[in-house]
């Protein structure tokens, strides 16, 4: 069944450049009102949590949302800077109708966005987002003064979430003796992640923990782990943890300074759960997950399937396959046996617990999965991507490449969901062949794109 076409909501809420529609104070004010109207329907006096990351525009949008929700008759609980997954958790524990996150995740500070969690701590159903969009087309009307929503600031939110994170691993796990570098990307985990690790006994060195509203994700974090790699080696640490600006992604670095990405983290957790007899259902990756992950899991008798790129689609497929583990190469990992959404801190804790229980360092744990050589080229477009992908020329060069790769390789051509380009990716066992085939396919795609644009 086709999903309804939505005007504002994407796969992860509403996101864009601050000051450019729809990421403006006027729109966010009305969005708060529209969301309040939909969420309060039939619930009587209702409440919504609002949290944000550390970008400077969060103050402005927090106030706009608060005003809109109050005008719709919703009470508001303000959490301040908090990781996105913390807001999902706290929405459940406060029995709120919804949680709202003001964040653009791994994007630079010039961007911002609004995303919602249901009262169950999960992404809002499509029909609720569609209903909110319908309300946005109506004139804004304020409820009677005696029904206006009240706002209250929650002062113990950080402590509540720290305890939740610690509870995601066995109580007898002690990180004493481990030296860990944690990189918080100057983002929402800056006051949470270091304290979680310290309270569990680790010696913690921090980088990327001095947010000023303008430096979120700038040179630090899960999308730029080079600073962490350097710090781990220089400090002779056991490992490093890099979170993104809103804390739902994590990339780790082993003692040798080597990056351990989301595919490898997913492999380590799935293998440990499988060995313990606690793994349930199919493990879900995406079309971008490395072929080595699929092969390593299959060698262990673990079922694996691929979803479209985006944690929303990973979650949908997990629910369809009765699974509990899924994720993306970017480090957005879903451990549904621990929490309801992607959580960088909780994912990292699962890895640390496995390392302590097995007495194996991260560098050894990742050895069970051998990543296949992978090469990708982004081809810019000024025309329709679908017409290019369906053309005889492109389909033929893809078939030729697949035949040359044989059963130990794959080709993926995918339009970007956020930029005007086609991603050309090839994987296989031979790195030189993989790169050559990627170049060949990209050349044909470029030629076809140029001809179509002419």
Residue partners of 110: CB distance under 8 A and separation at least 6 = 17, 18
Residue 192, token pair as written in the block: 């949470």
Q: Choose among 216, 430, 423, 450: nearest CA to 308.
A: 423
| Active-site choice (46, 70, 103, 105) | 105
Residue 416 bears catalytic tag: no
Length of the chain: 454
Q: Choose among 8, 9, 31: nearest CA to 140.
A: 31
Share of the chain residues as helix, strand and coil, in percent rounded to the nearest 5: 40, 20, 40
Cα–Cα distance for residue pair 356/345, rounded to 1 Å: 16
Helices assigned H by DSSP within 167-235: 193-199, 226-234
Q: Choose among 85, 325, 111, 110: nearest CA to 101.
A: 85
- Sole residue written with tokens 């194996």: 360
Cα–Cα distance for residue pair 130/126, rounded to 1 Å: 6
Cα–Cα distance for residue pair 364/254, rounded to 1 Å: 9
Query: Which residues are the active-site residues?
Result: 105
């Amino acid at each position: 069944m086709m999903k309804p076409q939505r005007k504002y909501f994407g796969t992860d809420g509403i996101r864009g450049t601050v000051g450019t529609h729809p990421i403006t104070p006027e729109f966010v004010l009305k969005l708060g009102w529209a969301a309040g109207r939909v969420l309060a329907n039939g619930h009587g006096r209702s409440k919504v949590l609002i949290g944000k990351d550390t970008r400077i525009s969060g103050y402005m949008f927090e106030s706009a949302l608060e005003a809109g929700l109050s005008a719709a008759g919703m009470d508001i609980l303000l959490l301040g800077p908090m990781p996105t997954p913390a807001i999902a958790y706290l929405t459940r524990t406060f029995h709120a109708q919804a949680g709202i996150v003001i964040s653009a995740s791994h994007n630079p500070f010039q961007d911002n966005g609004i995303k919602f969690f249901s009262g169950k701590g999960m992404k809002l159903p499509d029909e609720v987002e569609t209903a909110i969009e319908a309300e946005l087309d109506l004139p804004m009307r304020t409820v009677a003064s005696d029904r206006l929503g009240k706002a209250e600031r929650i002062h113990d939110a950080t402590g509540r979430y720290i305890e939740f994170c610690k509870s995601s691993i066995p109580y007898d796990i002690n990180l004493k003796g481990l030296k860990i570098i944690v990189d918080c990307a100057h983002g929402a985990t800056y006051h949470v992640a270091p304290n979680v690790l310290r309270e569990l006994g680790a010696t913690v060195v921090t980088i990327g923990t001095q947010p000023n509203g303008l430096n979120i994700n700038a040179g630090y974090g899960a999308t730029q782990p080079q600073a962490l790699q350097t710090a781990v080696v220089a400090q002779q640490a056991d490992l490093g943890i890099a979170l993104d600006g809103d804390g739902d992604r994590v990339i780790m670095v082993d003692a040798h300074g080597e990056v351990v990405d989301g595919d490898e983290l997913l492999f380590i957790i799935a293998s440990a759960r499988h060995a313990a007899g606690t793994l349930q259902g199919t493990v879900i990756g995406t079309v971008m997950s490395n072929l080595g992950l699929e092969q390593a899991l299959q060698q262990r008798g673990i079922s694996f399937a691929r979803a479209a790129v985006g944690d929303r689609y990973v979650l949908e497929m997990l629910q369809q396959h009765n699974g509990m583990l899924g994720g993306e190469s970017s480090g957005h990992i879903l451990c549904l046996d621990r929490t309801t959404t992607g959580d960088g801190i909780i994912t990292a804790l699962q890895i640390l617990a496995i390392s302590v229980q097995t007495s194996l360092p991260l560098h050894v744990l990742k050895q069970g999965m051998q990543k296949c050589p992978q090469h990708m080229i982004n081809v810019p477009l000024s025309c329709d991507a679908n017409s290019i992908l369906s053309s005889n020329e492109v389909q033929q060069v893809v078939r030729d490449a697949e035949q040359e790769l044989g059963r130990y390789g794959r080709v993926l051509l995918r339009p970007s969901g956020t930029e005007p380009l086609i991603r050309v990716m090839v994987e296989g066992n031979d790195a030189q062949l993989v790169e050559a085939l990627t170049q060949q396919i990209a050349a044909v795609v470029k030629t076809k794109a140029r001809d179509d644009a002419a």
